Chains A and B, each alone.
Chain A
Amino acid sequence: MTLLEISGLEVAYQGRHSAPRTVVHGVDMTVGPGEVVAVVGESGSGKSTTAHAVLGLLPGTGRVTGGRVLFEGRDLLTLRERDMREVRGAGIGFVPQDPAVSLNPVRRVGDQVAEALLVHKAADARTARAHAVRLLGEAGLPAPDIRARQYPHELSGGMRQRVLIAIALACRPRLVVADEPTSALDVTVQKGILDHLGTLTREHGIAVLLITHDLGLAADRAQRVVVMSQGRVVESGPADQVLRRPEHPYTQTLVAAAPGLDDGLGPEPPTESGAADRRIVAVQGLGKDYPLPDGSTLRAVDDVGFHIDRGETYALVGESGSGKSTTARLVLGLESATRGRAEVAGADVTRLARSRAGRAELRRLRRRMQVVHQNPYASLDPRLTVAQIVTEPLRAFGIGDRAARRDRAATLMDQVALAPDVLDRRPAELSGGMRQRVAIARALAPGPDLLVCDEPTSALDVSVQAQLLELLTDIQHELGLALLFISHDLAVVRRVAHRVGVMRQGRLVESGTADEVLRSPRHAYTRDLIAAVPGGARTALRPRT
């Protein structure tokens, strides 16, 4: 008998003054007892909505408009709220997406775990506290008796996610729905948590419905995979079958777009140019300190050194807080360094950033170094048209007259593969991928020698990401740009970088060619990082093309 059987599920969001918009169209899927099923899809695929519908936790105006959700033979959609409450927590546990905001900030974590027990009478007020401590320990939280008395803000993201797992498993449910449980966490933390969740659910025979955008993660963790796109299930089956021999064209695109470590898909080697000024960036002993409120200082960047030549991509990889983005900002002169020097095209940026006269010089230097930011939703002024945005650096440097700038903008649109009529639109009318293309066009406008890309694709879906990375490498090849590429994602770095530097706690722990660093890492941390990348199970499955 199946544990959970979803059939013909339809969910619609009721706009306040418009017709309802159906976002889940007749979805079928099943989960057997103790089975791990992954639902994979990009944003807008309806995967999270499906998960929330199972728990009866649709946000705001969402309504189930059709279908059945059978759990242990009962249709959850017909249950009264009171009976549904009995199912939540006791029958089905839930691990939410973002641990930073999913715990009540003003209550102790132990009490929040105990609450799950109390509402289902799994413990009485006297024993609940001790029981909660035991559950926290079981979820892998060190010193659980101390942690139980702390508030969420005193715990790290990974620890909070462990608290949420303790809550979800508190009443030993038959099924756990995990909605992107680790997408907000660093890869090494993610691995630890998913390993632990896997062990616990296996031990207790708990089935898992795992919602994820990450094919590699699905392949590693699930026995069966359901692929969703635009509110429909396009393909489902055993994990290795779906990922090795995808039948549906969408799954094929998805599998092809998903970056892996061992694809052998590195970029073309840098173009050799005989020009004398080959070296675009030279960084030496760079350091940046921030004062902390308690009087000590944080060494955000410490003794970092690297160089980038024309036509070459250098990638800085690291987890959050490793100092990789700060390093990029120091190179760009957006912040002034505490120690060391960073030269761009022969000019010492670190020195220029310190004086008023230097900053005027620095502004002129910006014509040769441009940046593409992480979040395409924030980096474009919402009030300007794309044409105004793209020509902004040209205006700033007084390059060309109005007509010449307009021509240049049209050329740039072509270069980043956007239709010319996009020039008249505003950022709000564009998708994330299109916005990031606009940001790239803006950066290319003044004809820079150096392009700094700070996590340029981390806010985008994999298929969009793949296109954008291809665009970047094409443009680099065409224009012979030096590229400084900041990323947390080793698989992305594999696709674009010629040389790689691995950062940890402000220091560069390893640096070398992409092949050296990613295939035969010397530093233990690099090895951990590579081992944590999801998709280890998948690469073996991957179709050789």
Chain B
Amino acid sequence: MARYLVRRLLQALFVLWAAFTLSYFVLFALPSDPVGIKLGGIDSTATPEEIAAVRDEYGIGDPVLLQYVKALRNAVTGDFGHSVQTGGEVRGMIADALPETLELTGLALLLTLVFGVGLALAATYARTRRLRQFLLSLPALGISMPVFWVGLLLIQVVSFQWRALPALGNEGFDSLILPAITMALPASAFIAQILAKSMTTALASPYIDTARAKGASRARIHIHHALRNAALPALTVFGVLAGNLLTESVVVETVFSRAGLGRVTAFAVDTQDVPVVQGVVVLSALVFVLVSLLVDLLYPLLDPRIATVPARRV
């Protein structure tokens, strides 16, 4: 188990390093010009001294590899440099914006689980074929809807027609509900689809016949036998789900005019603010890696077949 843990940690570190390196070379090697952007574009009136100072700050005179090593060393301590646009520290900008977005994604994640698992269970438990097929067709509908459109529809109906919840802003819990639902709808469709599929597979397994032949009730078979087995594949996409939700905030925060990491990201892309974009990329890779690590450590508790054969992954 210890060897497995070490292996898994090294793997996580590798992914983080690679995400940093990849984004570094994509973002810095390609033709964007932080100096030009910072000093106001082509018709800039910057003096040669100012230009030299900026070039120095971004280490532009150095060979590429040296720049990279410097950047990597800084990144390990969480330092991604300064925003080209605002001049603020990237770490600080992300730290300021993150709490709002974490609240949003946290609530969205919760709703996703409730809706998704609930729908999958209801769909596979439904007794009549018609109801079952109706419920099973819902996820396909959910994943086809553009997130921004769902948000706008909710604003139209709930905020403007019913006047029930605020359409915009960050004021209080009320303003969190619509954005969270907007995020959760497609995501829960995604979870429901995976879970319903693995529930269907599990329910058709021979061990379900064995359980039925014992005289076990439907509810018992669904919960004790099918769900335990079906939850495993759904659990593995949790890392992807968390990362996706975090990123969806770019769209959702724009639709609802909320402040948060998503807005920071959208603005950074809009202004080609390379250090900020890179900081966000590495952060989301970190979230993915942490959640996946957590899931992987949890997995042996749920699936005894993994626990006894750690060698399988070596």
Contacts and interface: CB of A to CB of B under 8 A. Distances in A.
Direct contact of A and B (CB under 8 A): yes
Contacts of B218: 81
Chain A interface extent, by class: 35 or more
Given A102-B206, A103-B207, A106-B302, A89 B308 contact: no
Interface in A103-146: 103-107, 112, 115-116, 119-120
A132 to B, nearest CB: 12
A89 B213 contact: yes
B304 A119 contact: no
Interface string B201-213: 0001111011111
Interface of B is mostly: helix
A106 B215 CA distance: 20
Contacts of A86: 215
Chain B interface extent, by class: 20 to 34
Contacts of A116: 214-215
Interface in A141-167: 151, 153-154, 164, 167
Interface in B285-314: 302-305, 308-309, 311-312, 314
Nearest to B231: A106
A60 B204 CA distance: 8
B31 to A, nearest CB: 47
A90 interface: yes
B209 A102 contact: yes
Given A103-B210, A104-B225, A106-B229, A119 B216 contact: yes
A59 interface: yes
A93 B204 contact: no
B308 A154 contact: yes
Interface string B229-252: 100000000000000000000000
Nearest to B228: A106
A473 B211 CA distance: 46
Contacts of A89: 213-216
The list of the 7 closest CB pairs from A to B, nearest first, reads A94-B213, A89-B215, A293-B311, A88-B215, A116-B214, A151-B304, A89-B214
21 contacts: A85-B215, A85-B217, A88-B214, A89-B213, A89-B215, A93-B213, A94-B213, A96-B209, A102-B206, A104-B207, A104-B225, A105-B305, A106-B302, A106-B305, A107-B224, A107-B225, A112-B210, A119-B217, A119-B220, A170-B214, A294-B311
Given A96-B206, A115-B214, A167-B210, 11 more contacts: A59-B204, A60-B204, A88-B212, A104-B225, A104-B228, A106-B303, A116-B215, A151-B304, A164-B210, A170-B214, A293-B314
Interface of B: 204-207, 209-218, 220, 224-225, 228-229, 302-305, 308-309, 311-312, 314
